[in-house]
Structures are given as structure tokens and as C-alpha cells.
Structure 1
Amino acid sequence: MAPCPGRVGPGGAELLPGTALAILAGALLLAWPAFLNGYPLVFIDTVSYLAQTIVPEMPWDKAPAYGPFLHAFHWRMTLWGSLAAQVALLSWMLWLTQRGARGGVTPAAHLLLCAAMVALTSLPWFAATLMPDVLSGVAALAVFLLGCARPRLSRIEAVAVLLVGVFAVAAHLSHLIIAAAVVALVVVLERRVGSALRAAAAPALAILVLLGANLAGHGRAVLSPNGAIFLLARLQADGPAAATLRERCPDAGWYLCAFADRLPMDSDEFLWDPASPVSRDADGHPRFMGSVALVPEAQAIIAATLADRPFAVLRAMAGNALAQLALPQVGDTLPDTHLALSARRMVRDGFPPRELAAFDAGLQMRGLLPEVAAPFLRPHLPVLIAAVPLALLGLARGGREQRALVLAALVAIGANAAATGALSKPHHRYEARIIWLLPLAAMLALAPRRGRDPGLA
């Protein structure tokens, strides 16, 4: 492939007042669900990320990067600071993605794009939620920019995108699979060592971050010290691991042999139900941190299952990945389910009383957000359906970087489905968090190409 046009100088990019204002205005647009709610949106898992620095503790089931990011901007004063940083980062990445795909961007074009994404896609609902979910798409965009559009970034911008990419990938283990898939795409498209190395830099450095953090926090230099329990939950729910238990027990001597007749069960029930084999032994006694205690055995059962039933495992994973692709709706992130015992507790214990009052006054905590949000969610599915042929049209008519963006979006969405559906469990949230990449890529692939961004020095 020929080098792309729109090369910039080796130095930095001058942030013109119009550029800065457009990025900030785009951030405000992306945050609008939080204004609708009256407070930044949260999810049951938000408590674990806040606890990383407020308690502080190293949650057994969470990657280590997102909690410190939240703390860097809330300082136990208000979560609005964390939200402001998140949406500003996202708006800036959308600005650079427009330049990377089209060759240039103007403040008016940026605001138009942000308004379209806000009105028509799931993006703002995840941008306004204090969870690493929105970073799934950010990780893919960072790899795309570094691998396919580097000449359209200044040196300072490229370094900043690399740092954002490292953070986004390290924020959730599934993002490593997404980023690796887009790196593979860059290798195929670019066929240049430099492009491949630039694309691979973010996930490679994120791996080092994860290894170091888990060595410091858990005493083991591994990517996920307790990830085996989640894969076991999925494999027993799908059937292969349950069949392995029935076949090999009681001779294998595994703890779960006592529960072979109760398996398979739903993976969420297996992991989180107080009465599950993970949480309560065969005599009914509670097991403190039962998930962590079961990890060595989970690794052994997974290895045996893969050896005994490799094709059954592959079939189940493929089916779950396809099921995940069909679940793109926002809804399951909006209710107040379990928030009183999770996020509210951390806001109560870690922030001033006025913050708790604001949290409690929000539509989400009062159980009203799903109903209020429903009219704004209706365009999402029709837009997604329309985005498919438009993205394919962009592949046929767009420029080199525009086509690469469409392919990167498709690859990232597929990798996300494989990482979440096949290795965890299909949920609407997992697909909705990244599906916005498709309409974004379709719009930018069909937009006119431009010359160099006037904001570049």
C-alpha cells in the first residue's frame, strides 16, 4: 500500500482555540446521559474500581488500571471530575480518528460527528458510565491510528495515543484480545514492519503493566491471576466441563466432584450465587473467597476439558460469540440493580455527604432511568442495521485509511464478541459497549476526504 497523504511534521500539533473548544464541546455532548440522570452513571462493578484506591485494595477479579484513572480526577471529592476526564479523552480520540480516516477535521465536522454519535448510537451511554467499557472501542481506535494513520499524527500526538492505548488495553483483559485482533489486521493491511510494531506497542506495553501490577498486588507476574474461574464457569455452563467432571469424578479428587450432579448451571449463578458450589461447600458452610480458592482446580479442570473435548469447547465458544453479536442494546447498564450495596457504599464511605446526596437524587439510583432513557435508545437498532450496508459501501468507495477504519471496526467488534461471549457470557452490555464503532466507521468512510488538519503545526 502506498503511504497515505496528509503527512505532518515531526514536531507537535498546535492546539488552536477552535480545536480545543470543539473537543470540549464534543465532550459535553458525550456526557449528556449523566446530565439527564443528574449524576455520572455507574454499574455494579464500579464499586471495585473505586475501591482500588479508596480502600485501597486489589480486587481479585479486576484489571488494575481503571481505578487509578478514576482517582486521578475525583480525589475523593466528586465523580464528575472522573467523568469529565473520560469524555474529554473520548472526544479527543474521535477528533484524531476523523483526521486519521479522512485526512483532516474541522471543529464543525467534529461537533456534527459527536452529535450524530450521541443521538444515534450507544456511545454516550457508555461514555457517561464510570466503567472501562467505553475503552473497548478506544483501544481499537488507538491501534488503528498508530498502525494505519500514523503519518496523520504529530509526534506528540502519536506518543499520547500510545499512552491512551496502553491505558485502554490494561483497563480490561478483554481489551487485550480486541487490540491483538486489530494489530493482526494492521499486519495484513500495511505489510510493513514499522506499522506492525507501532500497532503492537500499546498491547505489548499493556501486558507489561498487567504483569507488573499483578506481581505487586497478587505476587504473581500473570495477566489474570484468577481468570481461570471465569472460563470454568463458562465451560461448565456450556456443558463440556460438566461432562468432564462426571467422567473423571470421583477419581480426580476435585472439590467440584461433590457437585457434579448439580452441573451445568448458569455461569453467573455459578460465580456469584451465595448458594453456588463456589460460595458454599457440600456441607453448606460458606467459603470465604471461594472463587480465588478454586482457581488451581479450575485450571486443572479446564486443561482436562480441553484435552477431552476440544471440538465441543470450540463449538460452544463459537455459538456464544454469535449470540453475543446479537445482543447490542444498552438497557442492562441502566437499572439500579445492586447499586445500594455496591457503588453507593463506596460513594458513602469515600466522598463528602453532598456527593452521596447527589448520587441518591439521580434517576438511576431512584430506579427511573430505564424508563426515561427508553425513547433515546430507540434509534440505535435501526441505525446499526443501516450502518452495515453503509460500511460495506465505505469499503468500496473510501480511501485507504477509511477502508482500514471500517475493517478495524468489524474486527474489533468480532474480537469483542469472542472475548466476552465465548470466555464469559453473552450480555447486551458487552456488545453495546463497542458496537458504536460500526456507525462511526460507516460515517467516516463515506465522508469526503480532506487535506491536512489546519490545527497541525
Structure 2
Amino acid sequence: MTPRRLALVAVLLGAPLLVWPAFLNFYPLVFIDTVSYLLHTTAPEVPWDKTQAYGPFLHLFHWQLSLWPAVLAQGLIASHLIWLAQRALRGAAQPGWHLMLCAGLGLLTSAPWFLATLMPDALTGLVPLSLFLLAFGGLGPLMTAWVGGVAVLAVASHLSHLPLALALLALTLLLGRRMRPLLRAGLPVALAVLFLCTANALAFGRFTPSPHGAAFLLARLQADGPAAALLRDRCPEAGWHLCAFTDRLPMDSDELLWDGTSPLNREADGSPRAMGAMRGAAEAQEIVAATLRAYPLQVAAAALRNAWAQLGLTRVGDTLSAEHLDLSARRAIAGHFPAAELARFDAGAQMRGALPSLAKPWLWPHLPVLLASLPLALWLGWRAARARDLSRLALLAFALGALAANAAAAGALSKPHHRYQARIAWLLPLAVGLAAIPRRGAGPHASGESGRAQRAERARHAAGVPPARGA
């Protein structure tokens, strides 16, 4: 079998290893928010509180027939990026190593539990992986276009991915110290922002990445205290809608946004206020801006506390239950997919409430593996720095930086939840596994021409030059 066919077989075999919980469930995993992405293109209903990238991505594969192709596509994309990362670090990728990496991720980390879920969380870990490949992977033109497209999709799929990507671009400049890696990684991020702004201009008449994002910031700031204090200081003179509810604030951010009896979703006389968070976005923007001016230190301190809390929340589990699925994902499938697809969804372990117990025996290794990966990452990073191996150093730095940036974005801008950190925690064990694999032809006795070739290859990586490709 030719090397290209071997590579294709390895990538194809790696995909099911990365989404195997879907087979355990007998159906792709869903979450309460999956309904918005399905209805985006089937109803169609443009989601006001989410971006407009992931719904069309799902439709590209399901065509209102079955959700299985979409989850398999997620596994295939992840498998291919892992293959390219191995090639970037070693000079060539080997099928055996690839399958071992995919199996290790599948059995020991949170990766398959999110890649098997039809949510943008499946793509969170692909943001740093794709940006690393673009900046330091030595990709050719065709692979640059492909990985760049994946990066645009991943960044645009969730608003929390944008600050994550911007943090990684800053890290790219720090590591590469040249404009070329930054431009290669930065172009897809710019295209993702352009897509978000254009989509929102068409749907809501506002050329901005997030026309209603201030509502989420307000929910976070009042839960932390500063916005609630501002409202008490400025009301009732400010005339804001929330002035009628200062006695109820602060309150849980999720409750403020989604509870039907919350101040955002009620008029001053107690009557319902439909789409309260969306309608209150303009007012929320004023309150957020005033809060930042009045209480900058308190806001910063709360953000740091939330980010620290988010770093420690890495358990899989809050996306596995059947809670609210009958009114969310099931409704979308029942209304827009064949009856046979609805029957398959209903027969799945998740919808029957059996998935948490089925998953439990598989989840215990995640935290020990993650904790063990941290000192290994630091040690391997030190070795890579000494050897001037930029690709290995960059991958490890991207993994560590991504975990910190994701915690800051999710914890400070929304609310600490286990799924927000678990969705990306698998990137660190992957980086450690890839960095621990020896370079092609490397060994304890490498010398002469072989040693000089290895040193030359490391020098090319350090200079940002694509590595030489073998047959």
C-alpha cells in the first residue's frame, strides 16, 4: 500500500476512535442548545444568542435526513488535524503512532465526549490545533487552505472562540518573532470576524461580531456584584428597565438570562416580557460600559476569580443527561427529520436517561491524565527550548495557553461550567503525546549525516520554513 493510502486509512480509522461515545449511545450526543443549530437552517430560525456558523456546518452533512454524517465529519476533521500535527513535529506521520494517539485520546481524555456531541464545543480544541498548524506546521498551499477553512469555521462557531484565538495570535507573535507565522494564523481569524459581522448585518442590521453579547456580559457583571451595585447607585434616575428590580439583584447569571420570571423577562408590572435578554441588549451595553468605568478593579478581580474557578472545572457529565431534550433537540428532529430518525434518537441511551450511568466507568481517567500531563508538558517544553525545536515548543505552549485563555474567556464572560473547560482540556494530553514521540530517524546514536539532517530540520522549523517532505 502506498504511503498516501496508508495515511488515508489511518485518518479514517482514527475518526471513530474520536467519536466512539456516539456508538455507545447509539446516536450522536446532543445538548439543550443543539436545537438552535438545527432550527437555524431547517425552520429556519436565526439564533439571536449564538453565531451563525455551526448550524450551516451541520446542515452540510445532515440534509434533514440523519445526524450521523455530521458527527462522523467532526471525528474525521479532528483525526486529520492530529495527523498533520504529528507530521509537523516529526517530519513525517506514521499510522501506528496516529492510531495510538487517537485511541489514547478516546480512552483517557474528554475529547470523544465533545467530538461526538453536535455542539460548537466539539470544535473548541480545533481552534488552537488549526492555528498552530498554520503558524508552525510547515503546511503546503493545499493543506494551508484546508486547515485555514477549518480554523475559520472553528473560530466563528462560538463567540468564546474569538478571544481564545486572539490570545493564541499573541502567543504566535511571541514565539515566532516574525510576521509570517502571525499572518498565516491571523488571516482565518480575520475572515471569521468578517463572517460574523456580515451574518449579523444581514440578520439583525448590525455589523458586529455579537449584536446581543452585552446581555451576557451584564448577566455576569451583576452576578459578580459590580453591575448590581451600579444599578443601586444610578436607579431610578437612570430610567433603565432593570431599575424596577434592583432588590432582586445580584442573582445567578443563567437565571437572569433564561428564567421566565427573571428581571430581564418580566415587565415592571410582572407581566411576561418576550425575548427579554435580546430586547435588553442595548440597555445592557449602556450598563456594562458604565460598570466598567465605575468599578474597573472590582470587575478585573471578579474576572480573575471566575477564570481561576473555571480552570478547575473539567468534568464531563453536564452534557450527557436527557434534561430538557424533549423540548429542545427532540422537537427539532421531530419537526424536520424523517420519522425513522426520530425513532433512532428516542432509542438512544441519552434520550432514555441511561447515558450518564453508561459513561461513568469511562470518565475516571480524565482528571489523572490531565494532571499528569501538566508537569510532562513543562518538562518537554524545557527540552524543546533547549533543542531549539520550535514546533514542539509551540504546540506545548499553545496547549497551555489555550487552557488559560479558554478559562478566562468562558469564566469571565459567561459563567464557570464544567463543560467549558472539559471541551478543551484534552488538548494538553494530546500535545504531550505528540511532543513525546521522537522525530523521524532520531535515536540515541544519531550522528553524522543523520544528526546533521536533524539539526538542519530543527533550524528550518525555528526559521518558520516548511520542512522537507519525503516520498
TM-score bin, normalised by smaller chain: over 0.9
- Match in the other structure for 1:9: none
Asked if structure 2 preserves the Cα contact closer than 8 Å seen for 1:327 and 1:426, the reply is yes
Asked if structure 2 preserves the Cα contact closer than 8 Å seen for 1:120 and 1:379, the reply is yes
Which TM-score applies when normalising by structure 2? Answer: 0.92
Deviation at 1:240, TM superposition (A): 0.3
Distance in 2 of aligned mates of 1:133 and 1:351: 23
Distance in 2 of aligned mates of 1:327 and 1:411: 17
Deviations 1:179-210 (A, max 9, x none): 11111111011111111111111111101111
- Match in the other structure for 1:142: 130
What letter is aligned with 2:49? D
Deviation at 1:397, TM superposition (A): 1.8
Distance in 2 of aligned mates of 1:435 and 1:354: 36
Deviation at 1:26, TM superposition (A): 0.4
Deviation at 1:102, TM superposition (A): 2.6
Distance in 2 of aligned mates of 1:15 and 1:210: 39
- Match in the other structure for 1:55: 43
What letter is aligned with 2:144? A
- Match in the other structure for 1:72: 60
> What is the DSSP-based 3-state SS (H/G/I as helix, E as strand, rest coil) of the residue aligned with 1:329?
coil
Matches within 5 A, 1:54-203: 54-149=42-137, 151=138, 153-203=139-189
> What is the DSSP-based 3-state SS (H/G/I as helix, E as strand, rest coil) of the residue aligned with 1:241?
helix
Deviations 1:106-128 (A, max 9, x none): 11111010000001000000010
- Match in the other structure for 1:445: 435
Among 248, 251, 267, which residue is 2:234 paired with? 248
Number of residue-to-residue matches in the alignment? 442
1:414 is the counterpart of 2:404 = yes
Deviations 1:352-373 (A, max 9, x none): 0010111001110011101110
Asked if structure 2 preserves the Cα contact closer than 8 Å seen for 1:27 and 1:88, the reply is yes
Q: Which runs of 5+ in 1 are unaligned?
A: 1-13
- Match in the other structure for 1:266: 252
1:322 is the counterpart of 2:308 = yes
- Match in the other structure for 1:300: 286
Distance in 2 of aligned mates of 1:456 and 1:213: 43
Asked if structure 1 preserves the Cα contact closer than 8 Å seen for 2:212 and 2:278, the reply is yes
- Match in the other structure for 2:23: 35
Distance in 2 of aligned mates of 1:290 and 1:206: 28
- Match in the other structure for 2:451: none
- Match in the other structure for 2:463: none
Deviation at 1:86, TM superposition (A): 1.1
1:359 is the counterpart of 2:349 = no
1:337 is the counterpart of 2:323 = yes
| RMSD (Å), alpha carbons | 1.4
Deviation at 1:137, TM superposition (A): 1.1
> What is the DSSP-based 3-state SS (H/G/I as helix, E as strand, rest coil) of the residue aligned with 1:332?
coil
Distance in 1 of aligned mates of 2:88 and 2:122: 20
Deviation at 1:15, TM superposition (A): 7.5
Distance in 1 of aligned mates of 2:83 and 2:38: 29
Q: Percent identity?
A: 57
Among 19, 22, 33, which residue is 1:45 paired with? 33
Distance in 2 of aligned mates of 1:72 and 1:202: 20
Deviation at 1:444, TM superposition (A): 1.3
- Match in the other structure for 2:447: none
Deviations 1:239-263 (A, max 9, x none): 0000000001111111100000100
120 and 422 in structure 1: CA distance in 2 versus 1, 3 angstrom threshold: same
Distance in 1 of aligned mates of 2:18 and 2:105: 8
Deviation at 1:282, TM superposition (A): 2.3
456 and 78 in structure 1: CA distance in 2 versus 1, 3 angstrom threshold: farther
Asked if structure 2 preserves the Cα contact closer than 8 Å seen for 1:420 and 1:426, the reply is yes
| Runs of 4+ deviating beyond 3 Å | 451-457
What letter is aligned with 1:341? L
Deviation at 1:101, TM superposition (A): 2.4
What letter is aligned with 1:178? L
What letter is aligned with 1:91? S
What letter is aligned with 1:159? A
- Match in the other structure for 2:445: none
Asked if structure 1 preserves the Cα contact closer than 8 Å seen for 2:91 and 2:468, the reply is no
Distance in 2 of aligned mates of 1:179 and 1:118: 25
- Match in the other structure for 1:19: 7
Deviation at 1:455, TM superposition (A): 8.4
Distance in 1 of aligned mates of 2:103 and 2:331: 34
Deviation at 1:104, TM superposition (A): 1.9
Asked if structure 2 preserves the Cα contact closer than 8 Å seen for 1:43 and 1:130, the reply is yes
Distance in 2 of aligned mates of 1:185 and 1:292: 34
- Match in the other structure for 2:419: 429
What letter is aligned with 2:264? V
- Match in the other structure for 2:198: 212
Distance in 2 of aligned mates of 1:376 and 1:456: 39
Distance in 2 of aligned mates of 1:439 and 1:84: 22
Which TM-score applies when normalising by structure 1? Answer: 0.95
Distance in 2 of aligned mates of 1:333 and 1:36: 15
What letter is aligned with 1:39? Y
Asked if structure 1 preserves the Cα contact closer than 8 Å seen for 2:91 and 2:469, the reply is no
What letter is aligned with 1:20? L
1:238 is the counterpart of 2:224 = yes
What letter is aligned with 1:434? I
